[in-house]
Chains A and B, each alone.
Chain A
Amino acid sequence: MAHRLRKMLLYVVLLTGAAVFTIPLLWMLSTALKPIDQAMSSPPRWLAYKQLMDVDGQSISVGVEKIPTPGTPGDDNDAGLDTPITVQVAYQWLLEIDGERVPVKPVDSDFDPDTDAPVAVTVNHHLQADTQAGQRPARIAARGGGREDGGQVDVTVIDAEGYMSRVTVARSDLRKTYDQTIKDTEASFGEIETLNVSPAMLSKSLVPWNDRKDLAHVFVEQHPATAGDLHEEISLRWGNFGKAIEAMKMFPTYLKNTLFLCVMTVIGTVCSSTLVAYGFSRIEWPGRDKVFLIVMATMMIPFPVVMVPLFTMFRDLGWIGTLKPLWVPTFFAGAFNVFLLRQFFRTIPKDLSESAKIDGCSEIRIFWQIILPLARPAITVVALFQFMGTWNDFLGPLIYLTDQNDFTLALGLQFFQSKSGGTQWHYLMAASTLVVVPVIVLFFLAQKTFIEGISMSGLKG
C-alpha cells in the first residue's frame, strides 16, 4: 500500500515537473499561431479561435468584446444563449476596376449607399515594373532627366533590400496594380487616386475578423446579436510564420548564413579534431600526455579574455563584417572535441593498428581506413554538438558581424525583437519557433546520439 502510494506521488511530481518544463515551449507555439488580439487577451487560451456568425446570410468570423459565460456548457436551454451582445463586423467597400475587385475608401465614411449621387472614394495603387529581379514597385523618373519615347521609359525601382535604382523598361512592362493589403498601401512609391463613382458600383464585402489588420481599407461596424448566434471554431493562423519571415525582412539571408556557418564549422571541427585526437591517442610519442594537459587547460580560458585580441586580429586581417571569424578557427581543433574523440579512439584495440602496420599500412591510412569508420558514433556526436553550437551562437556573431547581410538567425531574431518587441508578440513567437524548431527536430532525429554524447563528456571527465 505504502509502495503504491509512493509510486503515485512519484508520477504526480514527475508529471507536474514535466508540464512546467514543457509549457514555455508550447506557449511559444500557441502564441505563434494566434492573431495579435488573442495573443494579448486575458484570460489566455491555448488554441487560436474564431467566432463565426451569420451576417446577411453569410457565415463570417466576427469580433466579440466579451463572450457571456454560459451557466452549463453544452446545455442548449441555457439562458446565456439569449443574452444580447454586440458583435463587430469587419467589411470593405469593393469597386470593380479593370475586372478586378479593389478595396476603396469612401471620402465621406457616412455616405448613403442607397442614393444615386456620386460618391468620392480613394484607391491606393502602385506602378509595378517587370525587371530582371522580378516585379518591383516603380516610379516614373522625373520628366526632365528621364527618357520617355519609343515605348521605353525610365523608372526608379526599389529592390528587395530597399535600395533604389534607375532602370529603363518597356512601357508594356509597366503595370498599374491596386493595393489589396495594408502592407501594399504602406510600400514606397504608392499613389492615392480619388474617383467619383455611383454608389451602385460599390459592393460591401465582409472580411474575416482576424484578417482585418492585414487588408486595406477595412471598416468595422457594430451588429446586435445574441450569444446563441455565435459559433466558435479553432482557427490556427499558420500564415503567421510567413508573415513573421516577411516582417524580419532578411530571414532567408539569415538562414543562408547560419546554414553556411553550420556546414563550414562542422566540416572544420570534424576534419581537424579527428586528426588531432588521433595524434593524442593512437601514436606514442614522448611528452604526449603533458601536451594533452595543455589542451585540457585551454578549456578553462574564458572567451572574454581572448575576445579583444581576437577582434583586433580579425580586424587587421579585414575579416570583421565577414563570416570568416566564425568558421576559420574551427579548422584548428577545439579542445573539447579533441577530448571527446580521444576518449573514444582510446577504446579501439591497439592490435588493429599494430597488425595494419605490420601489413605496411601508413599512419594516415590507418587513420582513414580503420579508425575513422570505427569512430563514426563519436564523430556524429562531435558534428551534432558543433552544429547546435553554431546554430545557437550569439556572442560570436554579435561581435564580428556588422552588416545585416551577414547576420545569423540568432542575431537576426534579437535584431527583430529589439525593433518590434512588445508589439508583435505573435510574430516574435513565430520567428522564435522557426529558430527553435530545427534544433528540436534534430534532437528527435538523433536523440540517442545526444544523450550518449552528453554522458560521454561528463562521465569520463
Chain B
Amino acid sequence: MTRTERQNLMKGLAFISPWIVGFAVFGLYPLGTSLYYSFCDYDVLNKPVFIGTLNYQDMVVDSVFWKSLYNTFYFAIFSIPLGLILALLIAVMLNQEVKGRSIFRTAYYLPSIVPLVGVSMIWLWLFNGDFGLVNFALSKIGIQGPGWLTDEAWVKPTLVMSGVWQVGGTIVIFLAALQDVPRALYESAQIDGASAPVRLLHITVPMISPAIYFNLVMGIIGALQEFVRPFVMLGGSGPNRSALFYAINLYQNAFDYLNMGYACAMAWVLFVIIVLMTWGATAASRKHVYYGGDS
C-alpha cells in the first residue's frame, strides 16, 4: 500500500465512521443478539435461558403462527400483482400525451404519501358496514354491501384494496422508466401493425423490466412486513384472527406476551422467507430483465 493509498483509506474510514458505529451498534449487535435470543426463553425481565431449537419447534405446532403466515401470504399474493399491474397500466396511460397530465399524476400519487394511520382511519370510515360511503354506493346499484371489516371473508380483500390505493410510488418509478423507452421502437412496431396490447407486452414490459423487478422486490419486502393498517384498523386481530398478520403476531408475542425469544425466532423465519422470495424473484427475472447497454 502506498502512502497516498494509506492516507485515502484513513480518510475514507473517517468519513464513513458514523455508518461503521451505527452498523455495529444498531445492526450487527442486534442481529447477533436476536439470533441468540431466538434459541432462548426470554421475557425481558429475566436473563435469557438457552433452550436450543425449542422456539422453532413450537412454531411448527403453533396454529396462530400458521394462521398469521397464511394471512400474510394471502395479502402478498393478491396485493403485489394487483399493485404492479394497476401501477403499470396507470403509468402507461399517464405516459400518453394527455391534457392535464400533471393533475392526473398528482391525483394518483397523492394517496401514497398519506400517513398509514391516516389511511387506516379513512378506510375504517369508508368501509364502515352501516354508514360507509362504499356500502352506500353499492346499495345504489342494488348490492347489499358486506361488513367489510367485521366479516372474516372480507377483511383481507379490504386491506388489499387499501394497499393498492397507495400504489403512487410504484407508478412514479414506472413513469420514469417509461420515459427512457425509445419512441422509435413503438413507431416501427406500429408500422408493422402491432396493436396496443401487443406493444405493451412486447416492447414496454421488456424495456422497463428493471423497474418491474425493483418494484416486485420492494413489494415482497413490504407486503410480508405489513403491520400498521391491519393493526390500527382491526386492533391487531380482526374477526377470527383474519387480520392477524405475521408482523402483528410477532409484535404481540414480543410486547404483549413478552415471549421475546419466540418473537426473535419468528423474525428470523420471516427474514429467511423474505430472502428466499427475493432470491426467487431475482432468479426468475435474470432471464427476463433487460438492462439496456449494461449487460
Scoring B34, B121, B232, B247 by chain A CB atoms within 10 A of each residue's CB, the highest score goes to B121
Binds A, one of B50-58, B60-68, B77-85, B107-115: B107-115
B122 near A432 (CB under 8 angstroms)?
yes
The answer to whether A440 has its CB under 8 Å from any CB of chain B is yes
Binds B, one of A63-71, A123-131, A164-172, A421-429: A421-429
Report B-chain residues with C-beta under 8 Å of the C-beta of A31: 125
The answer to whether B260 has its CB under 8 Å from any CB of chain A is yes
A443 near B98 (CB under 8 angstroms)?
no
Report B-chain residues with C-beta under 8 Å of the C-beta of A404: none
Within 8 A of A (CB), among B261-293: 263-264, 266-268, 270-271, 274-275, 278
Within 8 A of B (CB), among A371-399: 388, 391-392, 394-395, 398-399
Within 8 A of A (CB), among B91-127: 93-94, 96, 98, 103-111, 113-118, 120-126
A313 to B30, CA, bound (A): 8
A332 near B19 (CB under 8 angstroms)?
yes
Report A-chain residues with C-beta under 8 Å of the C-beta of B260: 308, 312
Which of A11, A305, A435 is within 8 Å of B115, CB to CB? A435
Which of A23, A308, A458 is within 8 Å of B211, CB to CB? A458
A21 near B232 (CB under 8 angstroms)?
no
The answer to whether B186 has its CB under 8 Å from any CB of chain A is no
B98 near A310 (CB under 8 angstroms)?
no
Interface residues on A, range: 35 or more
Chain B count of residues within 8 A CB distance of the other chain: 93
The answer to whether A275 has its CB under 8 Å from any CB of chain B is yes
Mask: chain A, 285-328; 1 = CB below 8 Å from B; 0 = not? 11010010011001011111111111111010000000000000
- On whether A10 and B96 interact (CB within 8 A), knowing A276-B16, A306-B30, the answer reads yes
The answer to whether B182 has its CB under 8 Å from any CB of chain A is no
Residue of B nearest to A287 (CB): B9
Which of A17, A285, A298 is within 8 Å of B27, CB to CB? A298
B12 near A279 (CB under 8 angstroms)?
yes
Residue of A nearest to B131 (CB): A40
Mask: chain A, 322-339; 1 = CB below 8 Å from B; 0 = not? 000000010111000010
Report A-chain residues with C-beta under 8 Å of the C-beta of B169: 454
Mask: chain B, 223-244; 1 = CB below 8 Å from A; 0 = not? 0110110011001000000000
A451 to B176, CA, bound (A): 9
Report B-chain residues with C-beta under 8 Å of the C-beta of A18: 103-104, 107-108
The answer to whether B26 has its CB under 8 Å from any CB of chain A is yes
- Looking at the assembled complex, report how far the CB atom of B29 sits from the nearest CB atom of chain A, in whole angstroms: 7
Report B-chain residues with C-beta under 8 Å of the C-beta of A275: 15-16, 18
The answer to whether A89 has its CB under 8 Å from any CB of chain B is no
A288 to B136, CA, bound (A): 59
The answer to whether A447 has its CB under 8 Å from any CB of chain B is yes
- Looking at the assembled complex, report how far the CB atom of A396 sits from the nearest CB atom of chain B, in whole angstroms: 11
Report B-chain residues with C-beta under 8 Å of the C-beta of A398: 251
B27 near A11 (CB under 8 angstroms)?
no
B113 near A440 (CB under 8 angstroms)?
yes
Residue of A nearest to B99 (CB): A11
Report A-chain residues with C-beta under 8 Å of the C-beta of B138: none
Which of B11, B111, B165 is within 8 Å of A285, CB to CB? B11
Residue of B nearest to A294 (CB): B23
Within 8 A of A (CB), among B23-80: 23, 25-27, 29-31, 33-34, 37, 42, 44
- List the interface of chain B (C-beta within 8 A of A): 1, 5, 8-9, 11-16, 18-19, 21-23, 25-27, 29-31, 33-34, 37, 42, 44, 90, 93-94, 96, 98, 103-111, 113-118, 120-126, 128, 131, 133, 136, 165, 169, 172-173, 175-177, 180, 210-211, 214-215, 221, 224-225, 227-228, 231-232, 235, 247, 250-251, 254-255, 260, 263-264, 266-268, 270-271, 274-275, 278
Q: A276-B18, A306-B31, A451-B109 are in contact. List 17 more A-B contacts (CB 8 A).
A: A21-B111, A43-B136, A280-B15, A285-B13, A298-B27, A305-B267, A308-B267, A309-B37, A313-B25, A333-B18, A367-B15, A391-B115, A392-B116, A395-B228, A395-B251, A410-B116, A417-B121
6 nearest A-B residue pairs (beta carbon)? A332-B22, A279-B15, A458-B173, A455-B176, A285-B12, A309-B30
